[in-house]
Every structure is written in C-alpha cells, then in structure tokens.
Structure 1
C-alpha cells in the first residue's frame, strides 16, 4: 500500500460518500430506479440488497424512498407473498461456505457455540428466548433450520453487527409468524422497524451494552503512562490516517506523546498501518498491539488517559464502553453514524469532536482527563444486567398470553468474536435446548 495514494483515495471516497449532500438525492433516485428494475425482473434479493445499501447510507431522501420500496416489495404491495417466498429462496440459495462460515455448513449445531445463545429455556409450552449475534450469520439460520418452528418455541432476538436495520438478513425474519426482537439503538433504525409495520420489534439496545465489566477496571494506583489508546481493527473505515494527521499536529507541542494502537487484520495489515504512521511522521509516538486477549486490552486501558474512536460509520462501538468501565473518557467524532447524540457520551464520560478540532480536543482532554468519571456513569446506566432487564421488559410488552411471557433471563456478555454467559455455569442449563434444535433442522 502506497501511503500517499491511500490518503488521496480515502479523502476522495469520504468526500463523495459523506460531504456532497446536493448530489445525494439524485443518486438515491437513480438507485431507486435500479431497484425497481430488479424487482420487476424478479431479482428480489438483489433489489433488497441494493435498497439496504441506499438506506444505510443515510443520504437525503433514502429513508422515505427505501421504506416505500421495501413495503411495496415484501409487505404491502402486489404479489408480496410470492415476493417473500422468492426473497427467502434467493437468500438461502446465495449462501455458500466462506472462511468464517464453512464450519457451520459442516455442522450447523456449531452456531450454538457463541453465535446463538439461549437466554431462557423452552419448557412445557412456555416459550424460551434465543439470541442471535452478528448480522452476517442471520441468514444462515434459514438455510439450516425451520425458522417458523424455532420461532414457535423461542422468542428470537437479533443483535446486528452495525448500524442499519434495513438489510436482507434482518428482513428475512419479518417473514416469520411470531414477533422477532431486533436491537436497534439508533433512532433512525428504530423508526424504520416501526414504520414497516411487521413482526420486527425494536429493542433500545446494541452490542456495546453487553460488556463484561469484570475485565475492565480503573487504574487503582496504576501509572497512566499511555496518553491515547485507539482500539480499532486494521481497516479503512477506522480512519487511522486522520488520527495520524492529528498526532502530527500535536507532536510539535507534545513530542513525547505515547499512543497505543490495538487491532487486528481486516482490510489492512499491521504493516499497512505502520507505513501510514511513517508517512505522517508519527511512528515514534506509537506502540502496536495486535490480536491481544481482553485481559491485555483491559491492562492497557488502565494505563490510558483518553480512549479515541474516529470512524464516521460503524456499529455501536464496544471498546468505548470498555474504556468507560476502566474509567477512561472518550473522544468520538461528531456526526458518528447518523449523528445521534448517545446519552452515554456526556460531561462525565467524554466529548464529541469536530474533525478539525481533534488535535486541540486531545490536548484539552489530556489536561483534564481526571475530571471525568465514566465508570460511575456506566455502572449505573449501561451494564449487561440493565440490558437484560430492558430486553425482558420489551419482550413482555409484546406477549399476548402467559405462555409467551418471560421472567428471569440469563445474562450474557460479548467477547471479541463470540458471546458467552456472565455466569459460566449457566451454559449447562441449555444443553437440552441445543439438542432439541436438531429436530428443527432442514434436510440437506
């Protein structure tokens, strides 16, 4: 990767994607016409996939136009039953083994080891609760299991990986007969789920509610020798080059600044990141930590003064909350995702920063980081226990009889690439549920 070419390409891509609003509506109209063509030629999955990308963009006009298209295609227009059947058929047919999914094709029961987690047992007609994490695995359940049978036995809860609930893997669950609960913390995503008026019910949660706070604790006398920590995979949308640009400005007044980068390979490698750092002349400020366990991440957070997230669009970032449990305030780019002001970013926990003000805001927070108290806030307002109660209450709000109601759910936590129970012994309680899903398997 040539750093200069990467910088130009990244800036141009961002400019086109985010910073030219006058061109957004005409492009949305052109893409809507393409979606209509795909729909007329019965390429329903491709139509929904393109509609998903347009809606996720947040471009002007995308919300209302795509809502209408999705409604007319799958739920309220002509031939919707036929279209839904085609949609599921095309979705299932499109699924082929990939590096991260081939083990599930060999043995679908492996989905119940970290991807699908039971939070309540099915018992004598009393519905249980099954939570499915990671957007790219949502469709797989339709390939391997009778989903209507599964939804008769369990309340299904979806935990998307990123912002944007208009996507094929989620809309597939709108074809089921029972309510399906979708974590949708972004106001725009909640509105979409409400507006399509299906069985998909928004839950005001996201993946960053399920942090195991036992792994992330305050310094308690530990020396704060890391000025900034950046916990971001080696990928383009994390925008390391913008961070390095701000560090280059800060280097003049803070030549001994210490920055810890924590990540792992996705679209880029560690060598790519190092090349970028060298291009911006900040490599001497950085230390690199690749693919380290949560305990080591927690140890680094204890030593840090600022937790920095500088992407423009992704999911609801877990590392920001992990930092708060470690009593580390954060800086997040203003306008993140759809620009919603999350209540957990406040005068106790961190700040929103304009792009051009990043260097000055880092400098200011370095001088005042001890005035923040993020751990106190998240322990009172943003724990996995609170999330479990919110989920329980939301499910019960849509229950129509006693056999559907839920009481005490198992508490779960998210790790880097899986999820597990807060109380490890809980896993023994759901062995019979995992075994019972075998009878819901589709023939291969």
Structure 2
C-alpha cells in the first residue's frame, strides 16, 4: 500500500493519512474513505447510469485487471490493500470491496477466489458485472463445466464455468444483489437461458442488463422486484420476449431493446408496435422506453395504428427510437403525417430522442408543435434528433431535390418555435446532402 492516500473532503480540502494514521482514524471516517473508492457508492452519489454508459452500450474493454468494487483500477488496489492492513480495516474495506464485482476475462476466477470465498462477504454484494470474452483459458484454471454441446466456443464455456463457481458460493442466495449485468464479445450472441441459475440466486434483483443476447427458451424464476431491463445488441424474437417478460413483476419502469444489425445472427426480430403490445401490462408504470436497431438504412416501421399504441403507455416520460418511423412516407395519409407525433405520444411525455434525420420528419414535428402551442403536451421539455449513427443513402422511392439551405432554415424555424413554447429542440450531426437520407 502506498505511504499515503489523498481523499477529498466535503469542504474541498485534502486529508493526507499515513499508514499509521489511517489505522487510528474513526470507523465512520474509514467508511467514508472506502466509499470514495467504491464504484457502487460513488456512482450512487453522482447518479450515473449503470453500467453501460458508453455509446455502444458495452461493458467496457475486456481482459483488463481485476476490478472488485472499484471506481477505477487504482480504487481496486487501494481497497484491496486497505483490507490487508489490520482486522479493523479488513472489516471496513471488505464491506465496500464486495458492493460491486466486475468479473472480466482471465481475472474472473482469481476474483471469485479472492473476494467471494468467505461466507460473510456474499450477503454484501450489491452489483455484479460479468464480461466473458473470446479467450481460451487453461482447463486447470477453471472448475469443470457441466456437459454442453458447443464447448468449443470459449465465451459460452467461460460463462458455464462462471455459473458453476457462483452456485458453489457459501451463500447460494444473494439477497443483497440488486444489479446484474452481462456483457460479451460482439461475436458470441449467447442464450439468455445460461443466466437462469444465477438469476435464481438473486430474488431481490432490481436492474438487469444483458449485452449480446441471442435467444431465450426457458422461463426464469419470478423477478418481482425488477424495475429496469436492458437488452442491448440483441437478436431476440417476439417469442423470446413472450417467455422472458411474464415473470417480471409490476414495478418495471425502464425498458431498453437494442437490436443488432449483424446479419449472421439475424432472427425475425421484434417490431416497434409488437414491443409496445407486449409491454402493455406495465402501461401504468413504464416511464422510459428505448427501441433502436443497428440498421444503417431507413426501416418501413409500423403503420399509423401501430404507432398509436404509444398512447396506451399512460406514464411514459422518455421515448428513444428511430426517427424514420415518423417520416412522411407513401403509406401514410396527409392527415396521418401531421399527427405522427401529435396523435401517438401520450400526454405524460417529457423527452423524445430520435436517431437519424431527413427533411420528411419536419411535417410530423410541425404537427407536434401545433399541439404544444394549443396547450397539449405540457410536460414536454426536450426533443433530441441525432443522425450520428447513420450512413447517407437514397430512399427507395422518388426523391425531390431540395436545397440544403432551405432544410437548414426550416430546422432553425422549427427550433425557434419550440423554444418559444419552452421545449428544447436539439439537433446533432445533421448534414443535409441534397437527395441523401442523412
């Protein structure tokens, strides 16, 4: 352990504690110091998103150092060293060391052996992030996995071993575990079924994130306390959701479905209107809904009746989805175009995030603006349009050439009109290229 640790005080000054002085500090101050280096506690203070806060919803880089309850690798080292100074520090630092476990690559089994091998630690676990990657580990480093027909795939093999290791913990029921995240390499598309044994150990789970999930065939145990479910880079089908969602309890308030564009793993997928239908049981609790695709082209999307299902989500405050669903397209009537937002969004909406942009979105925006000016959508505060994730392309129907300067002036007029009624209209990465879609 270093000779000194610098920790910011509430007043902004710094306290330098030597090794000897650290041992003499009051328990309350030691706990405050440890909480500064604990990822779980630090993030709760800042209100950060957990744990996939990157652009691609990924759990971070893989194959790095062991991360046990740390905000950074340095925080991990400090907490580990503090826990080895004496019995007092072992008890205090050990508490925070177990709040969050980040299981990554070859360090996974070392982590299990170092942090979860004592019965008094398992009940203190608050968060677990599992990252399993395309890496072949020595058989001597891992417990023997159960029979599995595709053991040649290292990510799946590692994941099976993880479940065996977790189920052999002294405390098989992790009642304190509230947040659980699984991430993998982009090439592995794992079945959600593999998580069921681990989900069964966490009856009080509130947040579940799963990156890179391919299918789901076995219904999990009841998830009565779940409030947030995020399925990123997924190729789940509607049938998979019909299996996964029924055990979810009545408290679900955040749902995120990000579908993959990887054609090697393409499944029928889930349509936007189909997703809204299966989320109907949570229409009074769901506050945030995100539905995105990995496609780099305009999708046909649901018809007007399908979009109108959004109105059934009585408590929805934030919607993030594809802008192309609200474009002026041939299958919409002129009246429907003007009401693509105005007659589909629930009155509870506060924020709308759209991925992509084309000037044919403007009629729907103006229709929404007219309703806001008339006194509807009083809670609406932000409209965010971001075209950054898309490539330019040509529509598959006749395109009218319009001067880029006209499009820019039209956007500015829409922005100014929304600002006048108290709605922030934000546009990012929008370049109009004549007859190009983005």
Measured against the shorter chain, the TM-score band is under 0.3
TM-score by length of 2: 0.25
Larger Rg: 2
Larger RCO (CA within 8 A; separation ≥ 6):
1
Q: Which has the larger helix fraction? A: 1
Q: Tell me the TM-score normalized by structure 1.
A: 0.25
